[in-house]
Amino acid sequence: MAASSQNTSVGFIGLGIMGKAMARNILKAGFKLTVFNRTPEKAAELVQEGALLAESPAAVAAASDIVFTCVPDTPDVEKVLFGPGGVVEGAEAGMVVIDCSTISATATMEFAARLKEHEIDLVDSPVSGGPQGAVNGTLSCMIGGDDAVVTRCMPVFEAIGKTFVHIGPTGAGQITKSCNQLVICATMMGMSEAVALCKKQGIDPEKMRQALVGGAARSFVMENHCKRLIDETLDPGFRAALMLKDMKLAMTVGRDAGVFMPSTTLATQMLTALSETERAGLDSAAVGLVFQELSGIR
């Protein structure tokens, strides 16, 4: 039976910028919502709006049919699922975990197998669209999981996103998210070189950008990241440290699968250079500054 706000209790673990906005949209859609966050103060607004605050991931699981996790990295997912007071301690058989974190695809498949021992299904659904997409409920969800389980979860998905592609079995969502991030970074390598070339030649990079977005070089990256780089408005946005984490995830899945990935290797190195020069907190588009420095511009 598909989930509905009448017959389904939802849990949400991890109320960061993304998670809090997603949880709010689930609440607005009429689902009973139980939340947990390591720092409980971050749940205060949601509680005022009608969410129940649980004391542990286990308590969230005990109150819920479907539990979302949205935490920073692979070890954080492992901890909320399997650590002390974790999801498996409270869950009944038949519960579903939807992990919206961007983490290792390999670990996701391992976690799915471990959850299966408790008769819990894991759906991985990393998202694209950023904080604004989370607030507006217009996220793009890259979904991996069993057909029947994903179908059952769709009404809850529809509360948080707009575009849903069920890619394949558990782990396929994470692999697709890696593809998403590495394509963005590959384009950022090109835009960084283009901006450096224009600056070095005394050409207004903004005029170049305007010409490119009118033709076959157009992209979200040229519209947004390139504009940020040119204007040097580099407050995140999406932090370079997180993009570096995502490139390392892509490198790991590529290494495990044996895939030739020179562009992702380059992007990883350039983001490493940005991070190691104390700029990990800037927007990922700041990687273009390194290209300019290495061209003697800055």
Active site residues: 177
Query: 78: how many CB neighbours lie within 10 A of its CB?
Result: 18
Q: Which of 139, 125, 117 is nearest to 170 (CA)?
A: 125
Taking the complex as a whole, the smallest distance from the CB of residue 197 to its own copies amounts, in Å, to 5
Taking the complex as a whole, the smallest distance from the CB of residue 206 to its own copies amounts, in Å, to 10
For the segment 177-196, give every residue that binds its own copies (CB under 8 A).
178-187, 189-194, 196
Helical (H) or strand (E) element with 70: none
Please check whether residue 57 is in contact with residue 144, taking contact to mean a CB–CB distance below 8 angstroms: no
Judged on CB neighbours under 10 Å (0-12, 13-18, 19+), 21 is buried
Out of 61, 156, 244, 253, the residue judged to bind its own copies by CB under 8 A: 253
Q: Which stretch binds its own copies (CB under 8 A): 26-34, 111-119, 150-158, 251-259?
A: 251-259
Out of 11, 16, 57, 129, the residue judged to bind its own copies by CB under 8 A: 129
Q: Which stretch binds its own copies (CB under 8 A): 4-12, 71-79, 124-132, 152-160?
A: 124-132
Beta-ladder partners of 142: 165
Half-sphere exposure of 211 (CA within 13 A, CB side): 10
For the segment 7-66, give every residue that binds its own copies (CB under 8 A).
none
Q: Is 220 in the site for its own copies (CB under 8 A)?
A: yes
Q: Is 154 in the site for its own copies (CB under 8 A)?
A: no
Taking the complex as a whole, the smallest distance from the CB of residue 108 to its own copies amounts, in Å, to 12
Q: Which of 147, 180, 141 is nearest to 161 (CA)?
A: 141
Q: Which two tokens stand for residue 122?
A: 């894991």
Taking the complex as a whole, the smallest distance from the CB of residue 63 to its own copies amounts, in Å, to 32
Distance CA 249, CA 243 (A): 10
Q: Is 145 in the site for its own copies (CB under 8 A)?
A: no
Q: What is the dihedral of CA 48, 50, 55, 59, to 10 degrees?
A: 180
Q: Contact letters (x/-) for its own copies, 158-177, by CB under 8 A?
A: -----x-xxxx---x--xx-
Beta-ladder partners of 166: 143
Q: Which stretch binds its own copies (CB under 8 A): 57-65, 88-96, 113-121, 209-217?
A: 209-217
Distance CA 91, CA 109 (A): 19
Q: Is 281 in the site for its own copies (CB under 8 A)?
A: no
CB neighbours of 268 closer than 8 A, spacing ≥ 6? 244, 247, 248, 251
**What does the binding site for its own copies look like in residue numbers (CB under 8 A)?**
105, 128-130, 140, 142, 163, 165-168, 172, 175-176, 178-187, 189-194, 196-198, 200-204, 207-208, 210-212, 214-222, 224, 250, 253-254, 257-264, 266, 270, 291, 294-296
